[in-house]
Amino acid sequence: MADVAAAELVDQAKAGDRGAFDALVGPVIDPAFRLAFGMLHDREAAEDAVQEAAFRAWRSLGNLRPGTDMRPWFLAIVANQCRSTLRGRWHKVLKLSGLGTPSQGVEDPVVRGADLRRAIRQLKHDQRLALVLHFYLDLSLEEVAAITRAPVGTVKSRIHRAVVRLRPQLEAEEVFG
Amino acid sequence: MNSEEERAARARVREALGVVEPHPGLRSRVIASPPAEGRGGGASRRPWVAGGIAVLLALTVVAGLMLFRRGSPAHSATSGQLVGSLNMTTQLEFRCMLPVQGYLAEARISLPDGAVLVDHVQQQARGTPQYGSVYAGGKWVPVPRAWLSADSKSYAYITNTTGVPGQLQTAALYVHDIALGTDRKLWSGAGFTQLIGWGPGGVYFMFQPAGEGKGAGDRTEVWVADLATRSAAHRVGPNPPQPAPASEADSPIFQFGTRIAGSYAWSLKIGSARPPIPAGGGNVARNPSQVIRMDLNDGSLSTWFTAAEGTSLSIAGTDSQGHPILTVMPTKRLVAPPNSPGQVPPADVIYPPSPRVLMLTGPNQTVEIADGSNSEFRPSSVIGDRHGIWFNSPGSLWLYRQGGLTKVADIPASLFRQPTPPPGATSRNAATPPPNFPPSPPGFPTGVLLALAGPCT
């Protein structure tokens, strides 16, 4: 029954019904924004990424199978959009200029956070995505696997490698925290 | 990775990324992205049709984004650029971010550590007046706080046209939707207006009907514009009629400087100057100024405070309960500007004493926040929040809470640099002071005067 209702919503959204599109996508805007912010570390870029992802989602409604869970489906599109944004030349230029020069041993919490954020930015995309989804959005490994279209074992491995790479910053936090 | 290590790592990552909430308008912006005519097409259409539609849709989105950017000059606050830290002089036991504006920089101060994160630096340009900035809903909005709606989703502004030969001066009131970047005209009329702010029932503005002259204040009215009906209603005025032409306004002028808090607007009735006015400039006596409260529900006016003879008065802001915060300058005389070259005002006018600062809690009932004896405390910007009442002062930041005023921090001059004029621009302030210009007295504070741009959240 729920699938039938969802299928109707999809059909209505395809036909240009904004209310139906809102019913489908609206509930996942907040986690989508948090995912984009966790990946891009920039509020405005995150909002743009979510907007662009919504447009892509709307274009892809025809490919949506009945019974598909909207949240992992839409978050996967947001993740792809973030990857595109990060590949963009302008984003790199802007981010490089905004990195700052936090120094080791400074006890300021903002500076320490900047160290860790910078280290997260330097992770490989797959590791960064798995880390943000699991640690920042608090999604289960199974849901992370659904979003990234990877086996649960692979997701675990990516998170483990990410934590290993972040260990110097994480341990520095422990020392000064 | 054991569970304890994972728990710690999770906590550190969350702390580093922070808790962020999307702008309230993001959902509507996102849902409005696809074109209204429907997706159409689909697998059954020919590829060239689908491709053409895709191109059109892409162009629509690009155009929409461009319009959004142009129409909404609000700036998102990112994680900010760390530029340094205040020198904390008080150890605060709470954590919050205090938005401030210093010269052209829009920044947030992380408390209690004092780290300064600059979100945006305004561009210097000719012909683009800047009235201030307010930080709300995670964004910087380039308007004074009073212009922003209570839900931070819109701001009001006014346009005035003048100088067209043979035509009356006209004014119009608009409301700008920050998320959508759209403007709605609420009201227009023949005359001069100034915005007061948002209050019960809509947007309040001062109106001088055409032909009454600008700035004289001899017939000012207060109007309220209703957003739902797009109509404006006359709320009060003209102000009490003047028995005789006065040299200056002797009635409350509800315009810039008026503060709306709850159901009341607070304004000043500036005491008129008493003759004789020295021909060559000099000291001028004034009648005492008064604080006037307007009940926005019925437009009734009442006097809540009368300054002592020989003092001047201003309303610096309100606390979180809506009590006006007054500054009272112990200046016995105000000075008419000198009209001969090289003549400078007296030193006590250039370097006035520190003001008394009072909180108005009832008709002629005040609580003293500062007695005027601390030469370092010279506030001009006030904001009340759940932590207390924040004050600025040249080179320092102050907080009044639990009946006591304390200096929270000193502001190093290096954090907020004074802008230099753009290339080719002539600086109006570059003139060398005349030789007889008095030096600043010992202890007179210098440094950046931060404008407080929102509560500490």
pLDDT 10s digits, B208-222 = 887 644 444 456 778
Q: Does the pLDDT at position A114 exceed 70?
A: yes
* Contacting residues of B for A40, CB less than 8 Å apart: none
User: Do residues A177 and A107 share a domain?
Assistant: yes
Interchain CB distance below 8 Å, B34 and A109: no
A107, A47: one domain? no
Q: What's residue B223's pLDDT? A: 87
pLDDT(B401) > 90: yes
Residue B138: what pLDDT? 80
Please count the residue pairs, one from chain A and one from chain B, whose beta carbons lie less than 8 angstroms apart.
153
The interface residues of chain A toward chain B in range 87-146, judged by CB-CB distance below 8 A, are 98, 100, 102, 108-114, 116-117, 120, 131-132, 135-136
Considering A66, A98, A130, which residue would you say is the last residue of a domain?
A98
Please answer yes or no on whether A59 and B54 come within 8 Å at the CB atom: yes
Confidence of residue A102 (pLDDT cuts 50, 70, 90): very low
Residues A89 and A127 in one domain: no
> Please, which residues bridge with residue B232 across strands?
B225
C-alpha to C-alpha distance for B155 and B131, rounded to whole angstroms: 13
A124 and A89 housed in the same domain: no
Q: Based on the fold, state whether residues A84 and A115 are members of the same structural domain.
A: no
Contact between B80 and B108 (Cβ < 8 Å): yes
Q: Tell me the ipTM for this assembly.
A: 0.81
**Range of weakest confidence among B167-181, B232-246, B321-335:** B232-246
Confidence of residue B403 (pLDDT cuts 50, 70, 90): very high
Interface test with A, best of B29, B31, B61 (most A CBs within 10 A): B31
Query: Band of the pLDDT at B342, cuts 50, 70, 90?
Result: low
Q: Distance (Å) from the C-alpha of residue A81 to the closest C-alpha of chain B?
A: 14
Q: Are residues A145 and A124 in the same domain?
A: yes
Give the domain-ending residue among A82, A98, A114.
Answer: A98
Out of B13, B39, B54, name the one closest to residue A16 (CB).
B39
Interval A16-52: pLDDT, tens: 677 778 888 888 898 999 999 999 888 878 888 898 8
The verdict on A128 and A147 lying in the same domain is yes
A56 and A127 within one domain:
no
A62 to chain B: nearest residue by CA?
Answer: B42
Name the DSSP class of A67. T
Q: Which residue has the higher pLDDT, B22 or B38?
A: B22
Are B113 and A108 inside 8 Å of each other by CB?
yes
Q: Do A135 and B14 touch (CB under 8 A)?
A: yes
Among candidates B8, B23, B38 on the partner chain, residue whose Cβ is nearest the Cβ of A14: B38
Helices (H), ranges, chain A:
2-14, 18-25, 29-40, 43-59, 70-87, 89-97, 109-121, 125-131, 141-148, 152-176
> Cβ separation of A113 and B18 shorter than 8 Å?
yes
CA nearest B130: which of B194, B202, B64, B73? B73
What is the CATH number for A113? 1.10.10.10
Interface mutation target, options A35, A51, A111, chain B, most CBs of B under 10 Å: A51
Dihedral over Cα of A22, A23, A29, A30: its sign: positive
Same domain, A118 and A140: yes
CA distance A76 to A80: 6
Instruction: Tell me which residue has tokens 């400074």.
Output: A106
Nearest Cα to A10, choosing from A19, B60, A1? Answer: A19
A43 vs B: CB within 8 A: yes
- The terminus-to-terminus CA distance of chain A in angstroms comes to 51
Distance CA B181, CA B163 (A): 29
pLDDT at B332: 54
Q: Do A18 and B17 touch (CB under 8 A)?
A: no
Q: Which of B8, B22, B57 is facing A29, going by the closest CB pair?
A: B22
User: Domain containing A85 — which CATH number?
Assistant: 1.10.1740.10
Residue A27 in contact with partner chain B when CB distance is under 8 A:
no
Range of the domain at A26: 1-98
Q: Examine the fold and report which residue of A68, A98, A128 is the final residue of a domain before the chain moves on.
A: A98
- Looking at the structure of chain A, the number of domains it has is 2
pLDDT given for residue B238 in this prediction: 52
Q: Of A162, A71, A67, which Cα lies nearest the Cα of B13?
A: A162
Least confident of A11-15, B243-247, B272-276, B423-427: B243-247
Q: Domain check: are A53 and A87 in the same one?
A: yes
Instruction: Please tell me the pTM assigned to this model.
Output: 0.58
Any CB–CB contact under 8 A between A15 and chain B?
A: yes
Within this chain, do residues A21 and A87 fall inside the same structural domain, yes or no?
A: yes
Residues of A whose CB is below 8 A from B43: 62
A112 and A90 co-located in one domain:
no
